[in-house]
Amino acid sequence: MARRKKKNQEDETLVDIVGATDQAAGFIEKNQNLIFGILTAFVLLVGGYFVWKYFIQAPKEKAAAEQMYKAQTQFERDSFALALQNPGGGFKGFLDIIDEYGGTKSGNLASYYAGLSYLQLGEYEAAIDYLKDYSAAGEISPATKNGLIGDAYSELGDFSQALSYYESAVSSSDNPQTAPYYLLKAGMLYEKQGEFNKALRSYERIKEDFTLSTIGSEIDKYIAKVSPKVK
């Protein structure tokens, strides 16, 4: 009796498997065009990605990196106008590199160089535009980007925006090289605006968190200067 029951269960299982197989076959038959279309789209998508990456983007990255050489050389010579537009030798300046190779790493870096070049040339609004376009990554770059934008706004007399970007430069990285530097800048700007409480907080944070930095070793004189003015 037990064997018969077991056999019946096995037969039912077999029927279920056969039924499921038939259903799957029926679904595939009815929807073969849809399935083929999905598979084809997947193959085209993967193939297209590899074509784009290795036959379009990679040569573009290489060409952009080669074009950057001369503009970077002029930048290092403090020839900022030449670096932006006409570095010589048939090479492109940062502005042309941004236009032609904007989707590459070098094109992105050219936005940073262009922003810094305009900052050095005193064209602060252009500096802000290009620095904002720069996609910063890592530990140092975001802080540097925000700090430079803060410098440009400060030069334009927009101290509220400048302080906002200095604060962002500090919060984007607790790096002992950049954070105390921008805390000091923020403190000095707060002090210039007569906001001595905020200035003191900036200086005291340097003393508390970045004592071993170069700025930290000299921060006591800033604290001593502003403390009597705090109400």
- What gap in Å lies between CA 36 and CA 46, rounded to an integer? 15
Residue 195 lies in a domain: yes
How confident is the model at residue 53, as a pLDDT?
A: 44
Residue 124 lies in a domain: no
Instruction: Answer whether residue 147 shows pLDDT above 90.
Output: yes
Instruction: Answer whether residue 72 shows pLDDT above 70.
Output: yes
Lowest mean pLDDT among 54-68, 71-85, 144-158: 54-68
pLDDT, the chain, mean: 82
How confident is the model at residue 177, as a pLDDT?
A: 86
Q: Per the structure, how many domains does the chain have?
A: 1
Residue 75 lies in a domain: no
How confident is the model at residue 56, as a pLDDT?
A: 44
**CATH code of the domain covering residue 183:** 1.25.40.10
Residue 200 lies in a domain: yes
Residue 194 lies in a domain: yes
**Is-contact 163 150, C-beta < 8 A?**
yes
Residue 130 lies in a domain: no
Residue 198 lies in a domain: yes
Instruction: Answer whether residue 7 shows pLDDT above 50.
Output: no
Residue 120 lies in a domain: no
How confident is the model at residue 31, as a pLDDT?
A: 59
pLDDT band at 2 (very low <50, low <70, confident <90, very high): very low
Mean pLDDT of 122-131: 98
Instruction: Answer whether residue 5 shows pLDDT above 70.
Output: no
- Identify the domain containing residue 161 by its residue range: 137-231
Model confidence pLDDT, tens digit, residues 163-205: 999 999 998 777 888 999 999 999 999 999 999 999 999 999 9
How confident is the model at residue 199, as a pLDDT?
A: 96
